[in-house]
Amino acid sequence: MDSSIQITTYWHSDPVVSEEVVMVSGSGFSSELIVHVAHTALPGKDLTSEILPDSKALKWKEAKILQASSDTLMFTIPKEFSMGIYVFKLSSGKLR
């Protein structure tokens, strides 16, 4: 994937539960993207610092991409994730 391409998201389907499909709209997508998903607890406290993409509190799992085009991406929430808040991030390489 060309590193000069900016990946932008402006919409995603919501709400979803485990094993359901998330559809993301944006730009700069390609079939080379990797989707990482993390799960955190149900709301009830301030989770702002916990759900930041670089948070050490999150355990990222690679999600299965079902479909990808330049402006739409579809992936599934992993089966083992219980109810809660799901966070995803898109990258063009493996998570370090």
Q: What is the pLDDT of residues 44-53, one digit of tens each?
A: 555 555 556 5
User: How many Cβ atoms from other residues are within 10 Å of residue 63's Cβ?
Assistant: 18
Whether 3 has a pLDDT exceeding 70, the answer reads no
Q: What is the pTM of this model?
A: 0.79
> How high is the pLDDT of residue 58?
78
Q: Encode pLDDT of 11-31 as tens digits.
A: 899 889 999 999 999 998 987
The mean pLDDT of the chain is: 82
Residue from 90, 93, 75 nearest 1 by CA: 93
Tell me which of 37 and 85 has the higher pLDDT.
37
> How high is the pLDDT of residue 1?
46
Whether 78 has a pLDDT exceeding 70, the answer reads yes
Q: How far apart are CA 77 and CA 64, in angstroms?
A: 8
The answer to whether the beta carbons of residues 25 and 14 sit under 8 Å apart is no
